[in-house]
Structure 1
Amino acid sequence: MASWNSFELEVVYEALGWFAFVSWSISFYPQVILNFRRRSVVGLNFDFVLLNLTKHSTYLIYNASLYFSSAIQKQYFDKYGYGQMIPVAANDVAFSIHAVLLTAITLFQIAIYERGSQKVSKVSIGIVSVAWLIAAVCFFIALSNHSWLWLISIFNTIQVTMTVIKYIPQAVMNFLRKSTDGFSIGNILLDLSGGVANYGQMVVQSIDQNSWVNFYGNIGKVLLSLVSVFFDIIFIIQHYILYAGNKSSKSDTTTEHEDQIREHLVRPSDQSPPENA
């Protein structure tokens, strides 16, 4: 396994990683605190939480496996070369553990607090079921020849897919309402900061090693950063440019088209800001 060539770049790498950890992690707390204070989850997007739990759980499996398992690390080196560094950092594992814990707490709040008539949609249940079914099938395939690196890459692919899915409903809803009223732009700014820092961490490692192998060696981390930044920029443009100053009345009727979007995408809430990370 390769070592750092520059102490300064190693420090920058660690600093960017933990900055990403803090930025992404903080964005979980406003919703949890709000639920606790209200003793209610009315207005919270249950589908988003369920999708997010699958997303972070699969990402945790990938990060922890590659970071701690010597057998998987050997398979990584066999594939990409023993002169490469493992593309998962301690902050990646720490973030995944924290994200799973906070998302699970949010699900527990959904179970015990007032939730009105809200429920998880069949669409999101179907998506999550298919994701875990694919993971289970791949596990038994990998079991026969110990293709563990291939298996955790499947988990990494699932987390990227969930990342894409979870952002779409909010972007569509903002477009249909022509407003971001009630939408927390602060969480998006934190999410953007974390995404940029996460990507920057990989760039620093590549510069130090004079190799870009870590980018396609951990394509999931790259796509996680890029997808997050992409949607965050869309949200920022919607909030500050396209719909700046537009207010949405709570009495506005929901169009038939929006109802279809809610049913088939994940039914975002008009009232509660989404979680990010």
Structure 2
Amino acid sequence: MSFLEFLSALFGWIYTLSWSLSFYSQPLLNIRRKSTSGTTVDFPFINALVIRHQYALRNNNHTPTVAVNDIVFAAHAFIVCSILTTQYFLPSLWGFDRAPGTRPSRLILGVVSGSFVAVAIITLVVLSTPSDADPKTSWAWLDVVYTISYVKLLITLVKYAPQLVYNFKNRSTKGWSIWQILLDFLGGILSIAQLMIDSWLQGDWSGVTGNPVKFALGNVSMLYDLVFMTQHYILYREDGSAKNSEEDSLLERGDDRRLD
């Protein structure tokens, strides 16, 4: 194994670990605060419905640049996000009081419904295609996988928006874990770095151009991460810190009052 191959594998598992750990920070913060206030259910809800995928490139018979660690990440993310969603839908199960933001927004419900319809239509088209048709020129199961790829991209474009707007309206990031953002940002950088290294090793940059979804996902997520970090550390830093400190003091004293 060459140094670049080792570096690619190392980056792959580190970004998988970073992204995996990022899913724990919000549910743990909710448990510590005994509340989901300050957050919305949209992000974990839509993440639990869509997972990452594996696929092969259509051109030049190259090995796919999506690695096995993506599969590990997908299964783990689904489980953790499903558990996190129960904190919003079933707060009494966790001993939480019901807080605002426990119902998915119309935007997220619309995106989820439309995505399932799109995948279902493409699946029916593939099923109606003759089995002896040439997959290079006719509809094939790979097209279903590509459809899921772009659904994932669409969801990445919108899944952070409700929380971003929620923070803006409250002028605070209280209750929203910044650690999930920091770990997600690290994972995005290493994901793109691995993709570039793998394409270099294959001697063909179609590893990047042929895998636009993974490349775009890393960049879009990091742009959102930068906005969240700006909200937390710059725009609402003093407001969020003061409210968090006051709430933590009340929780430590066992005060049942709720902050506005």
Q: TM-score, normalised by structure 2?
A: 0.77
User: Unaligned regions of 5+ residues in structure 2, if any?
Assistant: 130-138, 244-258
Q: Residue in 1 aligned with 2:161?
A: 168
Q: Residue in 2 aligned with 1:148?
A: 141
SS of the aligned residue for 1:125 comes to: helix
User: Unaligned regions of 5+ residues in structure 1, if any?
Assistant: 1-5, 67-72, 251-270, 272-277
* Deviations 1:41-69, CA, capped at 9 Å, x for gaps: 5555222222122332xx2xx32xx2xxx
Change (3 A) 1:233 1:111: closer
Q: Which has the higher contact order (CA 8 A, sep 6+)?
A: 1
How far apart, CA to CA, are the structure 2 residues paired with 1:42 and 1:172? 15
Q: Residue in 1 aligned with 2:72?
A: 94
Q: Residue in 2 aligned with 1:185?
A: 178
Change (3 A) 1:165 1:90: same
Change (3 A) 1:216 1:15: same
Shift of 1:102: 1.0
1:22 to 7, 17, 21: 17
Shift of 1:246: 3.6
**Which has the larger displacement, 89-98 or 116-125?**
116-125
How far apart, CA to CA, are the structure 1 residues paired with 2:199 and 2:78? 29
Shift of 1:36: 5.1
* Deviations 1:150-205, CA, capped at 9 Å, x for gaps: 21111010011111111122333344444434433222111100000111100111
Q: Residue in 2 aligned with 1:136?
A: 120
**2:72 matches 1:103:** no
**2:182 matches 1:200:** no
How many residues align? The count is 229
Q: Equivalent residues in 2 for 1:218-257 (5 A)?
A: 218-247=211-240
Shift of 1:38: 6.6
Q: Residue in 1 aligned with 2:98?
A: 116
Question: Alignment identity in percent?
Answer: 34
How far apart, CA to CA, are the structure 1 residues paired with 2:69 and 2:81? 18
Q: TM-score, normalised by structure 1?
A: 0.73
Q: Residue in 1 aligned with 2:43?
A: 48
Shift of 1:140: 1.0
How far apart, CA to CA, are the structure 1 residues paired with 2:22 and 2:77? 10
2:7 to 3, 12, 34: 12
| Greater C-alpha radius of gyration | 2
